[in-house]
Chains A and B, each alone.
Chain A
Amino acid sequence: MIRAILALVLTALAAAPLALNAGGLALLTEMLVLLAIAQSWNLLAGYGGLLSLGHHAFVATGAYLLFAVTRDLPVSPYIMVPLSGAGAALLALALTPVLFRLREVYFAIGMWVAAEIIKIVVSRLDYFGGSSGLPLYAARRIDTSWLPATAHWFALALAAGLCLGLWLLQQSPYGLHVHAMRDDETAARSLGVKTRRIKGTIFVLSAAGCGMAGAISFLGTLYVSPVAAFDINWTVNAIFICVIGGLGTIRGPVLGVLLFVLLREGLAAYPGWSQIALGVIAVALMLIAPRGLSGLLDRLLPRARTAVRDP
């Protein structure tokens, strides 16, 4: 039953470029990109227990790699999307020796400082267009009339792939190791769980997801600048989406994205108020329902509880 519904939703989303106008398609693509970033952040925070305030660095790395490499080499921007994710993963791997000395608060803010450093360095390098950024030179080589639809399909594939990946993780023995590590790192290690390696793997995978999402998002806008790519709101929104929806669940961020876009579009006439509303909702949920909307749903639908693991 659930599988049939999921297949139907996926088919509808895949067919969306045929039915929607340009604005509607852009919004849908943006939602899928937000979902992909939120699920990547969720993998690290909800499953790995590591709170990062600097994931916008990976979004920006993915975007900048796409723009810089396709300018210099005759690579198709489409092929560059997964490679941008790999680049962001490499960056994460390079950061682990420093960041993994830190825990909890120190990791969260250390990651933010790392993002700030990368932002300042990128906006000062002429190779990346300095503070004004880069246009997508490779747009000349592709048929841009298909660009919005292709970006949408990429975003759909990435978001669905991440959700599927989290589901597979929950089913696997490896997922049990991850779960044990998040709940009690010392106890898990004493039972032979290789916590350092797991954390590193999760961190790198989460960076790869954000990098691909960044590449897809800026592929659609044809232009990347430090201000837009290194916008901390990428991270802020991902956190709100996960916290409001339910950290450490798959459907949490899906619900979170829906509420996020609903609030933003509904309050579009009052700039800033959607962020205030999201902040208030997130704080209120942390107090009364720490498991987010997904947890509230479990209370209302007790039958569904068996399918969801405790966050």
Chain B
Amino acid sequence: MSAAIEILMNGLFLGGLYALFGLGLSLIFGVMRIANIAHGELAIAGALALFTLSSGWPFSPLLLMPLVCAGAFVFGWLLQTQLLNRVLSPDPMPALLVTFGLSVVMQNAMVGLYGANSRSIDLGAVKTANLTIAGQTIGWLPLGIFLLSLSLFGGLHLVLRKTRLGRAVRATSDDAETVALFAIRRRRIFAIAMAVSAACAALAGMLLASRSSITPFSGAERLLIAFEVIVIGGLGSIWASYLGGIALALVHVVGFYFDPASGLLFGHLLLLVFLLIRPQGLAGKVVTR
């Protein structure tokens, strides 16, 4: 019984992190109808940047995370305004190929700079601290990551629902051609979406590297997880990504419990099942294409 509760808890906490990976991808997919193949590499680059910045830094690396997110925000903005806005067309292939090229360049550059070793970010005492509730031991770090991701989703929800910018983003997502008639510069909305998406990716990468470990090759795996999160959750609202993240993480944790060598296999199979029997995802109103 206690093992079952532990698996559920692990799945829930890991799901918060998965959801954060999916959030960035679903944001740009929702707004622009293209995917960023370099999403995973952005996450890993964020983690490696924090790794470099925090060496020699006397305080907790946690304090540097906002700085790296700001850097990723600027990077995402430049990526959209300088590269992707120039290849936008009804045909998604050019934009897809540009992000694909970027992902290969980033991955090889990171291998060149940091080597292929796996590393993790050392948060000191936070990493091992835990609390006990009703006989269950819960680590502060997984719980903190879960709550942080939940509050980020809440914050983004408020921005999208209550602000003028959020309205513009939602309108662009519904019909990017028509919003232009209402004096909304859609390229600017795209740039904001990509910047927020990159910041989310970098944050997710840093949290992943604090929870477990990463290598410069981990990007591809993260992209697939982010993609599976948005397909399983469905598009249409950011909470769909949250649901998708938790569902995928539960499948991974349960699969790992019964078959430690399975890796991401059961998550991949879950994706196929969803594509076959429920292509709109758990909560989505829009049919995935």
Q: Do A and B bind each other?
A: yes
Are A102 and B275 in contact, CB atoms less than 8 angstroms apart? yes
The residues of A that contact B92 with a CB separation of less than 8 Å are 104-105
The residues of A that contact B269 with a CB separation of less than 8 Å are 117
The residues of A that contact B86 with a CB separation of less than 8 Å are 287
The residues of B that contact A104 with a CB separation of less than 8 Å are 33, 92-93, 96, 289
Within 8 A of A (CB), among B68-104: 83, 86-87, 91-94, 96-98, 100-102, 104
Q: How large is the interface on A (under 10, 10 to 19, 20 to 34, 35 or more residues)?
A: 35 or more
The residues of A that contact B199 with a CB separation of less than 8 Å are none
Instruction: State the Cβ distance, A44 to closest chain B Cβ, in Å.
Output: 12
Residue B158 is within 8 A (CB to CB) of chain A in the complex: no
Are B224 and A113 in contact, CB atoms less than 8 angstroms apart? yes
Segment touching A, from B137-145, B181-189, B243-251, B257-265: B257-265
Given that A45-B93, A102-B289, A120-B265 are known contacts, is A113 also in contact with B272, CB under 8 Å in the complex?
yes
The residues of A that contact B100 with a CB separation of less than 8 Å are 53, 239
Residue A175 is within 8 A (CB to CB) of chain B in the complex: no
Within 8 A of B (CB), among A119-167: 120-121, 124
The residues of A that contact B223 with a CB separation of less than 8 Å are 109
Are B275 and A116 in contact, CB atoms less than 8 angstroms apart? no
Instruction: State the Cβ distance, B123 to closest chain A Cβ, in Å.
Output: 30
Minimum CB distance partner of A112 in chain B: B224
Residue A278 is within 8 A (CB to CB) of chain B in the complex: yes
Residue B118 is within 8 A (CB to CB) of chain A in the complex: no
Residue B105 is within 8 A (CB to CB) of chain A in the complex: yes
Are A239 and B108 in contact, CB atoms less than 8 angstroms apart? no
Q: How large is the interface on B (under 10, 10 to 19, 20 to 34, 35 or more residues)?
A: 35 or more
Are A236 and B279 in contact, CB atoms less than 8 angstroms apart? no
Complex Cα distance A255/B275, Å? 38
Instruction: State the Cβ distance, B50 to closest chain A Cβ, in Å.
Output: 22
Given that A102-B289, A109-B227, A278-B104 are known contacts, is A243 also in contact with B279, CB under 8 Å in the complex?
no
Complex Cα distance A12/B108, Å? 36
Are A116 and B98 in contact, CB atoms less than 8 angstroms apart? no
Are A98 and B93 in contact, CB atoms less than 8 angstroms apart? no
Residue B127 is within 8 A (CB to CB) of chain A in the complex: no
Residue B126 is within 8 A (CB to CB) of chain A in the complex: no
Instruction: State the Cβ distance, B22 to closest chain A Cβ, in Å.
Output: 13
The residues of B that contact A113 with a CB separation of less than 8 Å are 224, 227-228, 268, 271-272
Contact with B along A246-277 (1 / 0, CB 8 A): 00000000000000000000000001110110
Question: Majority SS of interface residues in chain B?
Answer: helix
Complex Cα distance A101/B261, Å? 30
Instruction: State the Cβ distance, A149 to closest chain B Cβ, in Å.
Output: 34
Residue A93 is within 8 A (CB to CB) of chain B in the complex: no
Within 8 A of B (CB), among A270-295: 271-273, 275-276, 278-280, 282-283, 286-287, 290
Residue B48 is within 8 A (CB to CB) of chain A in the complex: no
Instruction: State the Cβ distance, A18 to closest chain B Cβ, in Å.
Output: 38
Question: Majority SS of interface residues in chain A?
Answer: helix
Within 8 A of B (CB), among A19-43: none
The residues of A that contact B104 with a CB separation of less than 8 Å are 236, 240, 275-276, 278-279
Are A286 and B268 in contact, CB atoms less than 8 angstroms apart? no
Looking at A51, A105, A116, A271, which has the most chain B CB atoms within 10 Å of its CB?
A: A105
Are A286 and B275 in contact, CB atoms less than 8 angstroms apart? no
Residue B109 is within 8 A (CB to CB) of chain A in the complex: yes
The residues of A that contact B105 with a CB separation of less than 8 Å are 275-276, 279-280, 283
Instruction: State the Cβ distance, A58 to closest chain B Cβ, in Å.
Output: 17
The residues of B that contact A174 with a CB separation of less than 8 Å are none
Instruction: State the Cβ distance, B83 to closest chain A Cβ, in Å.
Output: 7
Residue A232 is within 8 A (CB to CB) of chain B in the complex: yes
Residue B288 is within 8 A (CB to CB) of chain A in the complex: yes
Are B268 and A283 in contact, CB atoms less than 8 angstroms apart? no
Which one of A108, A240, A272, A286 lies within 8 Å of B94 (CB-CB)? A286
The residues of A that contact B98 with a CB separation of less than 8 Å are 283, 286-287
Q: Could you list some 21 contacts between A and B, CB below 8 A?
A: A49-B91, A51-B93, A53-B37, A102-B289, A105-B29, A105-B33, A105-B34, A108-B96, A110-B271, A110-B275, A113-B227, A114-B272, A240-B101, A275-B105, A275-B108, A279-B102, A283-B105, A286-B87, A286-B97, A286-B101, A287-B86
Chain B interface residues toward A at CB < 8 A: 29, 33-35, 37, 83, 86-87, 91-94, 96-98, 100-102, 104-105, 108-109, 111-112, 220, 223-224, 227-228, 231, 261-265, 268-269, 271-272, 275-276, 279, 288-289
What 3 A-B pairs are tightest by C-beta distance, nearest first?
A279-B105, A283-B101, A105-B35
